[in-house]
Every structure is written in C-alpha cells, then in structure tokens.
Amino acid sequence: MDRSKARKRAEELVLKMTLEERASQLKYDAPAIPRLGIPAYNWWNEALHGVARAGQATIFPQAIGLGASFDEDMVYEIAEVIAEEGRAKYNAYSRQDDRDIYKGLTFWAPNVNIFRDPRWGRGHETYGEDPYLTARLGVKFVQGLQGEGPVMKAAACAKHFAVHSGPEALRHEFNAKASAKDMEETYLPAFEALVKEAKVEAVMGAYNRTNGEPCCGSKTLIQDTLREKWGFQGHFVSDCWAIKDFHENHEVTCSAEESAAMALDAGCDLNCGNTYLHILNACKDGLVTEAAVTEAAVRLFTTRYMLGLFDKNEYDEIPYDVVECREHLALSERAAEESFVLLKNDGLLPLKKDRLKTIGVIGPNADSRAALVGNYHGTATEYVTVLEGIRRYVGDDVRIFYSVGAELAKDRTEGLGYRYDRLSEARTVAAHSDVVVLCLGLDETLEGEEGDTGNSYASGDKVSLQLPDSQLALMEAVAGCGKPVVLCLCAGSDIDLRYADSHFNAIVQLWYPGAQGGNAAARMLFGEESVFGKLPVTFYETLEELPEFTDYSMKGRTYRYMEGKAQYPFGYGLNYGNVVMKEAFLDGNQVMAVVENEGETDTEEVIQIYIRAVSCEAAPPNPQLCAFKRIFVKAGETVGTALTIRPEAFTLVGEDGQRFTAEGAYRIYAGFGQPDERTEELTGKKPVVIELACPNAAVQG
C-alpha cells in the first residue's frame, strides 16, 4: 500500500474518533477502541541485532560487530531475517490477543548515532564512528527490515535524533553543543540517508538538548530539518520518558502539560512515556490545538495501515517455526565470523588441531553468555560460548583445561577467598596447555545504557580504556607462564591493548558475537575460513589525547580529526591471506581496483577507498572513507572489481554548515585500511594513490 492510500484511510478512521480517543493513541501503549474495531497496540519493540526482549529469537552479533563486517549485503539479509521472525512472533501473539510490550512490528532500530568517544557505554549499539559507514549499513538495515513489497514487513526507526553519544549520566539534562559544520558533516548524514534513501518509517528523538532545544521538542530538528528539508513522511517518537525531562531536568517548561504541548507542537507524534496523558489538559488550556492531536494520530495510523495491521496480507501466514531456524542460525554464525577483527598475529593463528594435545581456555568471558549478546537482545534456545565452541570443534582429539581465572570486575570468585583467588588455577591451566586462549573483555553490565542491569561504571559509560583490575592481574599471570597465547576480547568498544600487544602472540576482537559466537570463534581460531572484518572505531593510545567527554566538537575525535597515532586505526584488520592492491584507477565515479592474494590461504578482504580535498581549509585533516567492498580472493588469484564513489564524497562543509563542491585537486586512496602511517606500520602495505585534478567529471558521473 502506498503512503497516500494509507494516509487517506488513516484520516477517515481518525475522523471517527473523539478527541479523547485520538489523544489516547499517541502513547506507546495505545489502548483498544472496540467500537471502531481497533485493537490495542504497543509501539515499543527492539531489534538492534535480532528481535529483542520478547522471548526466543535469533541473536546476531551486536551492531558494532555488524559495523566491523563492512558488509552491506549481509546487514540487509540480517534485517530481512529480523523482520521475518518479528512477523512470525507477532502472528503467534496476536492470535492470542497478546498486545504486550515488545510484541509489535515497530522496531526501534537501527541506532545511527556516531560513536564519537570510546567512553560512551551505548557505542556498541551503533555501527561505529564514521558517518559514511553508518549511513551505508543503516540504509541497508532499514531496507531489509521494511521490505520492498506493497505491505511494509516491519517498521524501522532511526535513533537517536540527532546529536547523542553520552555521557549517559547527564543525558536527561545535558545540552549537546554542535557547530553547524559538525552537524552537517558528522551528526546528520546517516539520518538524512535513512530518510531520503531508505524511507525509514520512524525517527526517535534523543534525551538531551541539541544547541539548546530538547531533541524531542525541537522544531529545528523535527520540523525544519526532518520534515521540511528532508521530506520525512513517517512518524516521530520520543525516547522513553524523555518528554518529562523538559520540565523536570532541562527546565525549559514548567509543567507536564507544557512539555506535552511543546513536543506535540514540534511534531513528536508518539510518546514513549506517560507525559501525553496530559495532552487533553494542554488542549483545554489552549497550549496545543486539536488539529495537532489529529495530525499525530493520522501519522501513527498511517504506519499501522502500511504494516497491513487492519487487512489480511502475505505476511500473516509466516509460521512460528522460522524463529531460530537452521538457516537463521547459520547466518548468525557467518555474521560473527565476518565481524571478528584480527588485530595481531605473529603466526600462531590459525591453530593446528593435529599439533595440539592440550588447550587452556581461561578468562571470565570464556564461558559467559552475557559476553555473547551485548544489550537489547532476545533469548536464544542455545548459547555457544567460546569455551563450548572450542570443545565442540576439537572433540575428543584435544584435552581442554579451563579456568575462569578472574571475575569480570570483582576481585575474587569466592566471597571468603583471597583477592584474585583464581590466578593460581589459571597459572596451573596454562602450565598444562600447549596453547592458551585467553578470553577477556566486558559485557552489558560494564558498558551499556543508563539503567541497564548492573552497570558498574558511570551509568554504563566507561571511565577508562583499561580492563578492570581483576583482568589486568590475570593478563600478567598468564603472560608470565611462557606459553603461546591468543587473546580473544569480547567488548563493544576501544580497550587499551598495549600490554596484550607486547606480551601475547595474537589478539582478536570478537565484539559481542551473538548466540552462535563460540562456534564462529572456534572456526576462526582453527582457520576454517578467513573472513575477518575491520575496525569501525579507532583504538586510541590514551583518553588524554581526546577532548572532554562532554565536548561535542569533532576536533581531535575519530580517525577523520585525530591528531595523534592510533593504537589500532579505524579500518584496520588482518586476515590469514595476503591480499595486495596491484592497481587502482578512476573511471568516472568508479574506482577500478585490481588485487592479488599473494598468500597461501583463500580469504575475504575489505577494499577501502578514502578521499581528501588537497588544498581546502574546509576539508577534515585526514582522508575519509567514501567507498568499501568486501571481496573473496583465492590464494594466488587476481581479482578486479569496481567501487562507486558517491557524488557527496566530492563535497565539503563550511563553517556555516553549507555543503559545497570544492574546486581543485583531490587525492583518492585505494587499499585495505586507512592511508595513515600506523596502518602502514601494522600491515606493511601502502594504498594506491590516485590524483584527481578536478572533481567535476566524477561528480557528474
């Protein structure tokens, strides 16, 4: 159903409602209107990396891992699966008239905020720090989730509009100040792409203010930018209980009625929270018009009609047995493999099973389900931890020794034990092992959203790039045993790995790899395939080189603006092959790349294209990503491929926030990572450089 027809039906239905009934539909838990045949509907559902919080579902790698895959097609496929499982669950629940929270078809995903600071606890919900990568993956996620048929398969929601990335502890009162240049260049592009290209059905506002206006009541963001400038046609939803912050924390209004009126008048159609319970009083007091209430209701029912919720449609017969079916689990495992980033390998990997008699698996994340799933996750029928994955892979051929070694953050396992009471066991396990797989990192109790279960840091944010002291002690203990060590890190953000880099043979970033993560980790460790990803964020040497967490200026942040040398750069990652760029040249708006795998292992690799205007002050100081493609190259094979550079790559943003095409030379870099000194140092490879005297031909192409 096209939007115009859906809206016409919505208008006709809403006109039959009383004002009270219309107002009642603007809450996330919209009640039934029996006299009009309207069932209750709960708008709140989550699906960052699988249908979340409603029982059984396939759990894919957390979003940051999907970002590391640099794989648009796979993200699209994953979103299709999420929509299919969401429909199957909705069909099953609605047949029983179960209209509870997390059981609808409006999924509040993806999170396309920019992971601008490694301290932000929710950064692992995003696709990373780069606006281009975030936009490309976000567009594919929305398209896969919503589908391309006459009926929308599920509704996606771009969040959190628009300048939001911590601190979590301050978000209900914080004013994020961003320049016009940073807005247009960094904070808005992904949202714009999701609206214009993917036709995302919903947008969610952020808790904080942006340049003085509460995001969920900002006429600048919602009306001027989203609806008028970009032509957004869907509905706008507040973050949960964000509207009450207007009067309780931001203090821009004096009452709940004023807050409700401010949000609704700005164009916020749906309230996740309860402040819209005061809409009728706001109308009575003349703070907001009945027309505004009606328009919000029409937009919301337009979405419900587009989802086919009042008509029979092709998705009604999707059976429940598609949930966590074999094909979906296989995709989850494949996604995990593509998300892993090989940061260091001195030749220890891949492990050879026939050369090992014993393997020591040590660490608090070795047998942890929480380390698989991140936050905003569903419930898996089976969780395969790293320990279990290795055990399954080697079977009875290799003896497995295991020790937790240390708790995630506590200083002892047994309450009456000595401090670090499992270190002696870890040393014993290492001593009895031919190789050690050390599994460290974080989980959602140490990095996540304010209010997530057990956040030990500042409302889910990190205060340091270091692992907790308990794990630092374990690293030193294992390093002192003199055995070859592979560090497997389950975490959603930058961790300081200087000690690990100087003491361990191999380091692999696993992120939060999903319920099948252990199977994928074992296949990776033993070299079944070489399908690694790349870092979607910068691993910094220290927090001291970054501006204050509360400073939203991009100066000194992310690979585009950083001034120092990264510990591990954005876009970096090794594999078991050795793919080299033999040739690259520009043909119109395409980079034609020729690569050869000079190694002995078939591998996947990610070609990355970066661009920089050579002599324009408006250009970011460092080249920025403008195209990427994941390819497969057999050992000894030469492959040619084309990567399209979008016209906006040849535009820059001035201090006034206006985008323009810069005259003069551009430099384009084709390789497998950033064209920076540190990437060259880590990989031993330089990109091919293409000099472009004038961008006009490419822009027109």
Overall pTM surpassing 0.85 (yes/no) = yes
Cα 74 to chain centroid, rounded: 14
User: Cβ distance 283 to 276 under 8 Å?
Assistant: no
Q: How confident is the model at residue 700 (pLDDT cuts 50, 70, 90)?
A: very low
Mean pLDDT for 638-649 is 97
Residue 604 has pLDDT above 70, yes or no: yes
pLDDT for the residue 454: 52
Residue 701 has pLDDT above 80, yes or no: no
Which pair of tokens denotes residue 206? Answer: 């952020």
Residue 198 has pLDDT above 60, yes or no: yes
- Residue 138 backbone zone (phi > 0: left; psi -120 to 50: alpha; other: beta): alpha
Residue that has been written with the tokens 């201090």 in this structure = 655
pLDDT for the residue 664: 85
243-299: pLDDT as tens digits: 999 999 999 999 999 999 999 999 999 999 999 999 999 999 999 999 999 999 999
Mean pLDDT for 429-446 is 97
Distance, in Å, from the CA atom of 331 to the CA atom of 162, rounded to the nearest integer, reads 31
User: Cβ distance 187 to 221 under 8 Å?
Assistant: no
Q: How confident is the model at residue 662 (pLDDT cuts 50, 70, 90)?
A: confident
Distance, in Å, from the CA atom of 334 to the CA atom of 638, rounded to the nearest integer, reads 25
The terminus-to-terminus CA distance of the chain in angstroms comes to 34
pLDDT for the residue 699: 46
pLDDT for the residue 459: 73
User: Cβ distance 575 to 598 under 8 Å?
Assistant: no
Spatial strand order of the sheet with 590-597 comes to: 579-587, 590-597, 638-644
| Burial class for 646, CB neighbours closer than 10 Å (0-12, 13-18, 19+) | middle
pLDDT for the residue 693: 85
pLDDT for the residue 362: 98
How much is the mean pLDDT over the chain? 96
Cα dihedral across residues 235, 236, 238, 243: positive or negative: negative
Active-site amino acid positions? 239
Percent residues over pLDDT 90 in the chain: 96
Q: How confident is the model at residue 157 (pLDDT cuts 50, 70, 90)?
A: very high
Least confident of 405-419, 454-468, 539-553: 454-468
DSSP summary character for residue 96: T
Homologous superfamily of 579-700 in CATH? Immunoglobulins (2.60.40.10)
Neighbours of 548 (CB within 10 A): 9
Mean pLDDT for 391-412 is 97
The continuous run of DSSP H or E covering 85 comes out as helix 72-95
User: Which residues make Cβ contacts (< 8 Å) with residue 45, sequence separation at least 6?
Assistant: 51, 52, 53, 54, 86, 101, 102, 103, 104, 105, 106, 107, 108
* Three-class SS state of 8: helix
Spans of all domains in the chain: 332-561, 579-700
327-336: pLDDT as tens digits: 999 999 999 9
Distance, in Å, from the CA atom of 494 to the CA atom of 388, rounded to the nearest integer, reads 26
466-491: pLDDT as tens digits: 999 999 999 999 999 999 999 999 99
pLDDT for the residue 457: 52
Residue 456 has pLDDT above 60, yes or no: no
158-181: pLDDT as tens digits: 999 999 999 999 999 999 999 999
40-53: pLDDT as tens digits: 999 999 999 999 99
Q: How confident is the model at residue 649 (pLDDT cuts 50, 70, 90)?
A: very high
605-614: pLDDT as tens digits: 999 999 999 9
Mean pLDDT for 298-307 is 98
Is the domain 332-561 a CATH 3.40.50.1700 member? yes
96-150: pLDDT as tens digits: 999 999 999 999 999 999 999 999 999 999 999 999 999 999 999 999 999 999 9
Which pair of tokens denotes residue 361? Answer: 């698996």
Distance, in Å, from the CA atom of 180 to the CA atom of 471, rounded to the nearest integer, reads 42
User: Cβ distance 516 to 333 under 8 Å?
Assistant: yes
Neighbours of 677 (CB within 10 A): 11
User: Cβ distance 494 to 123 under 8 Å?
Assistant: no
- Residue 569 backbone zone (phi > 0: left; psi -120 to 50: alpha; other: beta): beta
